[in-house]
Amino acid sequence: MVLEKLGKSLHSGLQKLTRWGRVDKKTVQELVKDIQKALLQADVNVQMVLDLTERIKERALEEEPPAGVSRKEHIITIVYEEISNFLGETREINLDRDEPVTVLMVGLQGSGKTTSTAKLASFYKKRGYKPGLVCADTYRAGAYEQLKQLSEEIGVPVYGDQDGRDAVEISKNGVEKFKEESKDIILVDTAGRHQEEEALMDEMKEISGEINPDEVILVIDSTLGQQAKSQASAFKETTDVGSILVTKLDGTAKGGGALSAVSATGAPINFIGTGEKIEDIEKFKPERFVSRLLGMGDIETLLEKIEETTEPEDLDREKMRKIMSGKLTLGDFYEQLERISNMGSIEKILQMIPGIGMSIPEEEMKVGKEKLDRFKLIMQSMTEEELENPKIMNSSRIERIARGSNTSKKEVKELMEQYDKMKKMLKSFSRGRMPKKGSLENLLDEMPKDLG
Ligand SMILES: Nc1nc2c(ncn2[C@@H]2O[C@H](COP(=O)(O)OP(=O)(O)OP(=O)(O)O)[C@@H](O)[C@H]2O)c(=O)[nH]1
Ligand SMILES: [Mg+2]
């Protein structure tokens, strides 16, 4: 993600802080300057940056760290807290009630409504809810076809009328149908014509009046940067926007600008889109988001992803703990690879592991899908014992494995190197390089549950 850049700059600012011998006014000023630079590059509004960094500076210089916490650690916490606040708050849709929840998706053309509608349906389906999709976009050619295709991909029913003209009528019928079928969440995708913005707003109002949605979600393209603010305000004025879904955070250097601008309108951000694929959606948790930006990692998101891509009986948090503390066998590594290939890119997963995301050079994170498949082949040729303890393999075994898996000795060695590297990193991490507590085990245990 290009937001990585923001993360990296913030991270290097904080790293500098850890290198400094002692913290004084000058060093704080330097840190503040680094943060300003990073945020401005991410297209955050200048005044907002100044206000934010002024608060950080004040607190860093005035507050006494609590007992047992060093001044540096305390400053890192301040930066983390202030940036989290700055990104606003989040909002949950309450699905635990008897009535179906109706959600109206609105947003300008190309913002990512249709994609996000399907992403949300899939997100809730994975959590055990029954979604239904309604296509109320009667303007864009192929709109129904697009949603239908996505709905088939995720196995969720869709209502629409390819030749229909009346979006209000379609919305009404679709919502009624799914209410009769006792769905848990009904998502209505709407049109996003651009030229006639006023007509669009009118239509949204009409649909809204007819179906009386429980939640209106505004979909906003983050590549707009701080301009996202005026769009969010415009929609907030005309429709009853309850929360905002910010898309395309994978593809823009302006993500920080978009997020902060949107939160400045006072509307909570509920989800973020981080890619074109169905699974590229995350609940927006400012604290979590910032800890990732700052390179502190994000175990809860990782666990959440793992939870949803594996069958319940398959889920093995114990194993995850073991692995993340560096005690992994090649067999574990293999199992994780299989899961990871279900979860999307390994880079994304690695980024969520504390301490790793920011410290592996980028080239090393690029373990492509193809390579993963090759690794899998190799591991399938290894014995249980070898998977348990790869060190027992000698060079003739390596040769045989390469032959058996139709790969090369070089690749087998490469796999060993990758595995060793990950193991070492996880180990060094578990020895404690986190700002606060130290061990990852502690972190898992002490993670505030309301963050997750
Ligand atoms: N990289 C990336 N692309 C996205 C994301 N969300 C949506 N897109 C892409 O953005 C483009 C537009 O998405 P749509 O879902 O069709 O947008 P829309 O708002 O429904 O567009 P209209 O129906 O024309 O108003 C598509 O190419 C999507 O794949 C995201 O989070 N990341
Ligand atoms: Mg659409």
Tell me, using a 6 A CB cutoff, whether residue 137 lines ligand 1: yes
* Strand duo 158-159 + 101-106: pairing: unpaired
CATH class belonging to 299-451: mainly alpha
Amino acid 434: pLDDT: 37
Residue 338: predicted pLDDT: 58
With a cut of 50, say whether residue 200 has pLDDT above it.
yes
> Is pLDDT above 50 for 441?
no
Residue 247: CB within 6 Å of ligand 1? Answer: yes
Residue 274 Cβ inside 6 Å of ligand 1? The answer reads yes
Q: Read off the pLDDT band of 342 (50, 70, 90).
A: low
- Report the b/e string of 116-149 with b at 16+ CB within 10 A: bbbbbbbbbbeeebbbbbbbbbbbbeebbebbbe
- Residue 11 DSSP symbol: H
Q: For ligand 1, say whether the CB of 276 is within 6 Å of any of its atoms.
A: yes
CB 204 within 8 A of CB 113: no
pLDDT surpasses 90 at 328: no
Residue 137's pLDDT is 94
User: Looking at residues 188-208, what average pLDDT do you find?
Assistant: 87
Higher pLDDT, 240 or 341: 240
Q: Give the residue-averaged pLDDT of 332-336.
A: 67
Every domain of the chain and the residues it spans = 3-86, 101-289, 299-451
Task: Return the minimum-mean-pLDDT range out of 282-291, 352-361, 367-376, 393-402.
Answer: 352-361
Give the atom of ligand 1 at the shortest distance from the alpha carbon of 280. 31
Nearest to 439 by CA among 451, 426, 448, 452: 426
Q: Which ligand 1 atom sits nearest the alpha carbon of residue 219? A: 19
Selected residue with higher pLDDT from 95 and 22: 95
- Whether 114 lines ligand 1, by a CB cut-off of 6 Å, is yes
Concatenating the DSSP letter of every residue in 342-377 gives HHS-HHHHHHHSTTTTTTS-HHHH---HHHHHHHHH
Neighbours of ion ligand 2 (CB under 5 A): 113-114
**Residue 50, token pair as written in the block:** 């100044």
Atom of ligand 1 at shortest distance to CA of 107? Answer: 19
pLDDT tier for residue 445 given thresholds of 50, 70 and 90 = very low
Binning the chain into helix, strand and coil, the percentages to the nearest 5 are 60, 10, 30
Residue 313: CB atoms within 10 A of its CB come to 6
For the chain, the farthest-separated pair of C-alpha atoms sits apart, in whole angstroms, at 74
Lowest mean pLDDT segment, chosen from 16-25, 48-57, 197-206, 279-288: 16-25
pLDDT greater than 70 at residue 314: no
Atom index in ligand 1 nearest the CA of residue 275 equals 32
Cα 59 from Cα 43, distance rounded (Å): 24
Domain 3-86 -> CATH class = mainly alpha
**Mutate which of 117, 219, 271, 276 for ligand 1 pocket (most atoms within 8 A of beta carbon):** 276
Answer whether 339's CB lies under 8 Å from 303's CB: no
Say if residues 389 and 329 touch (Cβ distance below 8 Å). Answer: yes
pLDDT at 27 (0 to 100): 87
| Mean pLDDT computed over 58-68 | 85
> What confidence tens digit (pLDDT) does each residue in 117-165 have?
999 999 999 888 999 999 999 988 899 999 999 999 999 999 999 888 8
Fold of 101-289: Rossmann fold (3.40.50)
Q: Whose CA is nearest to atom 10 of ligand 1?
A: 112
In angstroms, what is the span from residue 109 Cα to ligand 2's centroid? 7
Whether 250 has a binding-site annotation, put simply, is yes
Answer yes or no: is the C-beta of 109 below 6 A from any ligand 1 atom.
yes
- The mean of the pLDDT values for the chain is 78
